[in-house]
Amino acid sequence: MDVLVVGATRGSGLALTRELVAAGHRVTAFGRTASATFAAPVAGLDALPGSVRPVDGDALDAEAVAKAVAGQDAVVVTLGISDNPLAVQWLRRSSTAPDVRSRGTGVVVAAMRETGVRRLVVQTTYGLGDSWRHLDLTWKLVFRFVVGRQFTDSGKQEEVVRASGLDWTIVRPVSLVDDDTGASAHVTTDDTRRGLKVSRTRLAGVHADALTDPATIGATLSVST
């Protein structure tokens, strides 16, 4: 399967790229520093059955995104901001556009419509929609006052996805961690969850499974452990 991962150079996107290559897929890894991130032997992907093709580009660059989307079987969007969340929230300082999630996803959707690619999986965040009622007060305060701007943009991103007319799946993970405890991912479609942390490795498995499962089209998956 030919899969484009938008936001592939760090965090969830990087974990997903490794997962897909390990499963034998042909991955186009799109990001501003993709060539450096996936330079052999840094990436350590050479011995895996799939392949990765790094493409340097900005998710807000419509021409670059359209070129990357062309010929793909599916697209996964894992856009986000790596800057200090308090600086983003209160000082409005970030090296990435503060609305990169919604605008970048809009650019991807437009490119997919133009090229005829239909399968789309987009990562947002747990707490949106009806999942909000399953959060305790502490997490609600975090979403309002620590990552409020990013949280709002993720909500707009979901609106873009649902209005796209594509074969979409939304994936809402709880708080992400790098350490993989080995606990299996708990996936629901009714906005419920177990714990409030999930490893990026386990989340990558959920993304990869969703890509090839037609039952997840039009579904919103809550992911926890």
Rounded Cα distance, 178 and 158, in Å: 25
Q: Which pLDDT score, from 0 to 100, does residue 88 have?
A: 81
Tens of pLDDT, residue by residue over 139-197, are 999 999 999 999 999 999 999 999 999 999 999 999 999 988 788 999 999 999 999 99
Among residues 100, 89, 106, which one has the least CA distance to residue 162? Answer: 106
Q: What is the pLDDT of residue 42?
A: 63
Measured distance CA(152)–CA(99) in Å, rounded: 9
Q: Is the pLDDT of residue 40 over 80?
A: no
In the predicted model, is pLDDT for residue 220 greater than 90?
yes
Q: What is the DSSP string of 91-147?
A: I---SS-TTHHHHHHHHHHHHHHHHT--EEEEE--BTBGGGGGGS-HHHHHHHHHTS
Q: Give the tens place of pLDDT for each residue, 113-142.
A: 999 999 999 999 999 999 999 999 999 999
* 224 pLDDT higher than 70: yes
Residue 92 is predicted with a pLDDT of 84
Q: What does the alpha-carbon distance between residue 55 and residue 80 come to, in Å, rounded to a whole number?
A: 18
Sorted by where each starts, the structural domains of the chain and their CATH numbers stand as 2-224 (3.40.50.720)
Chain segment 70-115, per-residue pLDDT in tens: 999 999 999 999 878 877 888 888 888 999 999 999 999 999 999 9
- Residue 93 has a pLDDT of 84
At residue 79, the pLDDT reads: 98
Residue 28, classed as helix, strand or coil, is strand
Q: Which of 172, 61, 159 is nearest to 69 (CA)?
A: 61
